[in-house]
Amino acid sequence: MKKRIIVEGVSKKFKIGFKKRESALSRIIHLFSGREPKKTLEALKDVSFKVDSGEIVGIIGKNGSGKSTLLRTIAGIYKQDKGNIKAKGKIISLINLNIGMHHRLTMENNIFLCCSLFGLSHREIREKFDSIIEFSELRDFVSTKLYQFSNGMLQRLAFSIAIHCTPDILLLDEIFEFGDEKFKEKSAEKIKEMVRKGACVVLVSHDLRMVEKYCHRVILMTDGAIKKEGKAKEIVKGYKIEV
Amino acid sequence: MKIRHFLNLSFEIAKSSFKLRNEGSYLGIFWYLLNPLLLFVLLLLVFSDRLGNNIPSYPLYLLLGIIIFNFFQQSTLESTRVIVRDYGELIKSINFPREALVLGITLRSVFSHFFEFILFLFFMLIFKNSMTGLIFYPIILVFLFVFIFGFSLILSSLTVYFIDLDNIWNFFVRLVWLATPIFYSIGGQDRLFIANLFNPLYYFITLSREIIIYTRLPELWIIFGALFYALSALLIGMLVFNKLKVKFAEML
């Protein structure tokens, strides 16, 4: 099996602002300098795992357990403080459905902008344009501006764009929260098809049913570290009991 | 292949930003012309008898100064917003070459600069000015573009660390507007002349005026000055941006 993603001992720290009881003097100083005291938060602690090609890996865990940070680090958006990340192939990240869509532009304009963010050339986008619209089932709204779209429609569009940009590594962060059941099924089928062709998928979701149904392996994270890793059914079951 | 992707992306960003600006406006592109045109007419009315008295072809002198400055102003002001405000969320979601954002807004400013330049050509025709100097304009524009792109790289990356920079720059641009001989000429004022040696725009504007309006070769130090500022802005810009871009996603 070809390894797509190798994450070795990755740690990431953030400096975050916090308030504690402070003296009048320091309060005045902070008022003038506009700076607040910072403390470091360890978002990722020594995380290691591998993803093979042809695999769908789910990441679950509570809010703030480092799931999104992990995805962003794999995507190269954050730079890790320690450790190594190797990713082979083209990475497409879909984090909170944010793929640079402008609400004041038409769907057509947005498709061109977003696809070029993912590295497609103008000609490639032209070729894939119909297929993107077909998959998102938004044929009637090509020249509608996005602010008039519903959340579900935006989600369909974003997902459709992402999968048409031929990812080898697809990073999905909470993207199924708005879609209806039918589209979820359809997306999942599409993902399976891509995975069969050799891609891999890392899926962060709170939708445990989806995770259980489609992921081959699941990683449970707590406080920035991997707590458990294994077969989807066992991990999800254990997590459900815990919650 | 990679550079083509980068250029393609920058172009798409420029296009969408251009469309966004015209979105829902009734006059659309005319705003690009109206703004410099109104400023031009106003300054012409106020100054043509006084400051412009000794300047040959004062209306053209003035208009060319305005549109070149406008190019600089638009692009740099936009660059203080593009990363923090306009595309901050996107930077946290997708790992794409961040420089494309800055190149995109510089390209967009070139688009609007073209419209303004057509306006200038129109006035060249009215005043029956010689058109021969125009063939050199593309070369000047390339260096002006390089300078503005480099400068925008510096500004845009610094705003991530100093959020107030957009306010400061807003004020500073006005200062540069007054210090640059746009609606007046330096004449014999020594202090102003020395100050303008450190003003890159002075070189570009003088260069364009000499070649395009007066059809004569500018002094060599003006040409070298423009070259120097263009290349050093690009170099410093790329260095600074490269150094700072790693932390963008965390700072936003």
Q: Residue ranges per domain, chain A?
A: 1-10+47-90+167-243, 99-165
Task: Compute the average pLDDT of residues A162-188.
Answer: 87
**Structural domain containing residue B171:** 2-251
Interface test with A, best of B91, B94, B161, B164 (most A CBs within 10 A): B94
Residue at token pair 């890793």: A229
Residue of B nearest to A120 (CA): B5
Q: Do A121 and B8 touch (CB under 8 A)?
A: yes
Q: Which of residues 8-47 of A touch B (CB under 8 A)?
A: 14
DSSP string, A47-103: EEEEEETT-EEEEEE-TTSSHHHHHHHHHTSSPPSEEEEEE-S-EEEEETT-S---T
* CB-closest option in B16, B89, B246 to A98: B89
User: Of B159, B37, B153, B147, which is closest to residue B88 (Cα–Cα)?
Assistant: B159
Number of domains in chain B: 1
A95/B93 CB distance under 8 A: yes
Quick: pLDDT tens for B68-78. Answer: 999 999 999 99
Do the Cβ atoms of B249 and A119 come within 8 Å? no
User: Do residues A156 and A137 touch, judged by C-beta distance below 8 A?
Assistant: yes
A172: nearest CA in chain B? Answer: B93
- Inspect the interface and report whether the beta carbons of B94 and A99 lie closer than 8 Å: yes
Q: What is the 3-state secondary structure (H, E, C) of A188-214?
A: HHHHHHHHHCCCEEEEECCCHHHHHHH
pLDDT digits (tens, 9 = 90+) for B219-251: 999 999 999 999 999 999 999 999 999 989 888
Q: Give chain A positions within 8 Å (CB) of B89.
A: 98
Does B93 contact A99 at a Cβ distance shorter than 8 Å? yes
Nearest-by-CA chain B residue for A12: B250
Q: Would you say the pTM of this structure is higher than 0.95?
A: no
Nearest CA in chain B to A79: B246
Structure-token pair, residue B28? 């659309």
pLDDT 10s digits, A73-90: 999 999 999 999 999 999
User: Is the dihedral angle over the CA atoms A190, A174, B104, B225 positive or is it negative?
Assistant: negative
The confidence band for A209, taking pLDDT boundaries of 50, 70 and 90, is confident
CATH class assigned to A1-10+47-90+167-243: alpha beta
d(CA B132, CA B214): 10
What does the alpha-carbon distance between residue B236 and residue B251 come to, in Å, rounded to a whole number? 22
Q: If you average pLDDT over residues B212-216, what whole number do you get?
A: 94
Tokens matching residue A134:
């077909």
Distance between CA atoms of A7 and A1, rounded to whole angstroms? Answer: 16
User: Residue A231, Cβ neighbours under 10 Å: how many?
Assistant: 13
